[in-house]
Homo-oligomer: A and B are copies of this chain.
């Protein structure tokens, strides 16, 4: 491996479990992740349902304040690139992955963020915020509400992530299953994909990737049958 990275990432499938409050199921994990860090920079660009960056940041701030953290939105810096360089921790919330990736590319932040994370800056990602740790955003479930400059993402993981992974099927419906969609993606792009069910997360420490939470993940390896796994069969940062 050419470079040594000191990743401290928690990459969750979802921010919110059914019937629970925002981040509630992760609150203990956040202590472990953020440690003595007091201030977290929130990246609200995925803005779910089109809510404003301000509103989404307020929402994150309310929850994280109760856990002892102060939160500043990345858009509240004069230059978001300064936020990337100066922050001591990041949280990228879920929402629309196209919107998130569009803004990160528009402001020239994608590679800068990846570099900071390699230095060991703690990072929490949920849903879209987890997706961008992969090679590309192309296994998102979201609608293409905006046209990003590129589908390329941080490439910290040597795979793509499918968040909210499910094998549930809507009866009498001809739309593809999630598994079918991921396999279709792989027929165009032969790269591994990890389907991350809700309630599970990846914890990246240094170069190791651990699957944690309430279940297994579904591993899609090109040209092999997909299978449920307990352990992630590769390391972070191998493309850096």
Q: Which residues of A contact B (CB under 8 A)?
A: 14-18, 48-50, 96, 98-99, 137-147, 150-151, 164, 166, 168, 170-176, 180-189, 198
Contacts and interface: CB of A to CB of B under 8 A. Distances in A.
Given A48-B176, A140-B144, 11 more contacts: A49-B184, A50-B186, A138-B143, A142-B181, A144-B144, A145-B187, A145-B188, A147-B150, A164-B173, A170-B170, A174-B198
A175 to B, nearest CB: 4
B141 A185 contact: no
B48 A143 contact: no
Contacts of A147: 150-151
A188 B144 CA distance: 10
16 contacts: A15-B174, A18-B174, A50-B186, A96-B188, A138-B143, A139-B143, A141-B143, A141-B175, A142-B176, A144-B144, A145-B187, A146-B188, A147-B150, A166-B175, A168-B171, A168-B173
Nearest to A139: B143
A172 B48 CA distance: 19
A18 B172 contact: yes
> Assembly of this chain: how many copies?
2
Contact of A188 (B50, B175, B183): B50
Nearest to A149: B147
Contacts of A99: 188
Given A16-B174, A172-B18, A181 B143 contact: yes
Contacts of A180: 49
Contacts of A186: 50
A145 B49 contact: no
A98 B181 CA distance: 12
Contacts of A14: 174
A166 B144 CA distance: 18
Contacts of A16: 174
Contacts of A183: 49-50
B49 A187 contact: yes
A18 B173 CA distance: 7
> 9 closest Cβ contacts across the A-B interface?
A50-B187, A145-B188, A164-B175, A168-B170, A14-B174, A18-B172, A143-B181, A145-B185, A138-B144
A168 to B, nearest CB: 4
A183 B175 CA distance: 20
